[in-house]
Structure 1
Amino acid sequence: MTDGDHPRPWETQRRGLLLLVSSPAGAGKTSLSRRLVADHSDLTLSISCTTRSPRPGEEEGREYFFLDRALFEERIDAGHFLEWAEVNGNLYGTPAEPVEAALSAGKDVLFDIDWQGAKQIAEAMPDDSVRVFILPPAWDDLSRRLHARAQDSEEVIRQRLALGKEEIAHWGLYDYVIVNKNFDRAYADLAHIYRAERLKPGRNVWLPEFVEGLLAE
Structure 2
Amino acid sequence: MIERGLIVAVSGPSGVGKGTVLARVEELMEQAAPGSVGHSISVTTRAPRGAEQDGVEYYFRTKEQFEQMIAEGKIVEYDKYVDNYYGTPSEPLEKMMENGQDILFDITIEGSLALDRKFGDDAITIFILPPSMEVLESRLRGRGTETEEKIQLRLEQARNEIKRAGEFEYIITNDELEKAAGDILAIIKSEKLKASRNTNAFKKFES
Q: TM-score range with shorter-chain normalisation?
A: 0.7 to 0.9
Contact 2:41–2:59 under 8 Å retained in 1:
no
- Partner SS, residue 125 of structure 1: helix
**CA RMSD for the aligned pairs?**
3.5
2:27 is the alignment partner of 1:33: no
Shift in Å, 1:182 = 1.7
Q: Give deviations 1:188-210, integer Å, cap 9, x for gaps.
A: 21111112212223334642454
Contact 1:24–1:167 under 8 Å retained in 2:
yes
* 1:13–1:74 distance in 2 versus 1, CA, 3 Å: closer
Other-structure match for 1:163: 157
Taking the TM superposition and a 5 Å limit, the aligned residue runs for 1:50-199 are 65=58, 70=63, 76=70, 79-86=73-80, 92-199=86-193
Worse-superposed segment, 126-135 or 35-44: 35-44
How many Å separate the matches in 2 of 1:112 and 1:161?
A: 19
2:197 is the alignment partner of 1:203: yes
TM-score by length of structure 2 reads 0.76
Please list every run of 5 or more consecutive structure 2 residues that lacks an aligned counterpart in the other structure. Answer: 47-51
* 1:142–1:74 distance in 2 versus 1, CA, 3 Å: farther
Please list every run of 5 or more consecutive structure 1 residues that lacks an aligned counterpart in the other structure. Answer: 1-11, 53-58
Q: Percent identity, please.
A: 35
TM-score by length of structure 1 reads 0.73
Q: How many residues align?
A: 197
* 1:161–1:202 distance in 2 versus 1, CA, 3 Å: same
* 1:154–1:180 distance in 2 versus 1, CA, 3 Å: same
* 1:150–1:74 distance in 2 versus 1, CA, 3 Å: farther
Contact 2:6–2:124 under 8 Å retained in 1:
yes
